[in-house]
Amino acid sequence: MGAAEELDPAGESAGQAGTPPGGDAAEPASRAHVERGLRLAELILASTQRAGPAAGSRLPTERQLSIDLGVTRSSIRNALALLEAQGHITREVGRGTFLREVASPGDAGGRGRAQMAGPARAAQPATADFAPADVMTIRRLLEPPAMALVVAWATAADLEEMDRCLAQGDRAATFEEFEACDLALHWCIMAASHSPLLAALYSAIDAARHGQVWGDLKRRSASRERRGQYQADHRAIVEALRSRDSGAAVEAMRLHLARVQEHLNVSDPAAGLTWR
């Protein structure tokens, strides 16, 4: 089980058992946890690509990846969340996990970013075509009212996955790591609606948030203080979902997106809308 000891981002190897919570080694341990997750994500992607499947092909199940790589299923889930947030894969409720097509640097509009694969995404515009103001407008129209569906349909497993994304966000040591966790959490929340149509609609937003214009704007607006505010917002959203409080979940998501819009300083025609 050498692979599990080296790569398992759940921190389950015996060598980590003696680190006291909050001790002097807490920050290095957190960073190491994230780094192990990223390495495992890279290993999954590399092993999958070596097997030869094309973009749009289904990946092995979490159970099979766990057996093949010698790590726990929770570690595989964490790594897949990172790969999804980075644009390498897409996970579809009831269907499975699929590779995305990676555009070459010379592709018009691609800019080397991952593009969503599969027939349902064939007509989707290039991510570079989306203005940040457009992204925020549609997010604020779609995500807050969707919380009512998530309250109704989210399972215990969905809430557990949200908690894992939150924990990864707490451990994130860099802008890129935090953005990956943020993307994974929002996708996890929307997927918990168990609505294939909503998931298909949100996939366009997910693709837009991988675009270069969006990424550059987020990076310029990023700070440690704002990361803390976003995490507090995220916890409020997840807690409202766990409590099955639809009104609180809608309001928590609305306030969170209003904060993001304010930090990005982009015009948002939906800013004055409420869903009460």
pLDDT at 153: 94
pLDDT at 225: 94
Architecture of domain 1-99: Orthogonal Bundle (1.10)
| pLDDT, mean of residues 10-23 | 41
Task: Give the confidence band of 104 by pLDDT, cuts at 50, 70, 90.
Answer: very low
Per-residue pLDDT of 35-70, as tens digits, reads 677 788 888 877 776 666 566 678 888 888 888 888
| pLDDT, mean of residues 65-87 | 79
Task: Say if CB 142 and CB 202 are below 8 A apart.
Answer: yes
Report long-range pairs for 160-167 (Cβ below 8 Å, ≥24 apart): 161/77, 161/81, 161/188, 161/192, 162/188, 162/189, 162/192, 162/238, 162/241, 163/238, 164/74, 164/77, 164/78, 164/81, 165/81, 166/231, 166/234, 166/235, 166/238
| pLDDT, mean of residues 190-214 | 82
Average pLDDT of the residues of the chain: 75
Task: Give the confidence band of 28 by pLDDT, cuts at 50, 70, 90.
Answer: low
Domain boundaries, the chain: 1-99, 123-276
The class (CATH top level) of 123-276 is mainly alpha
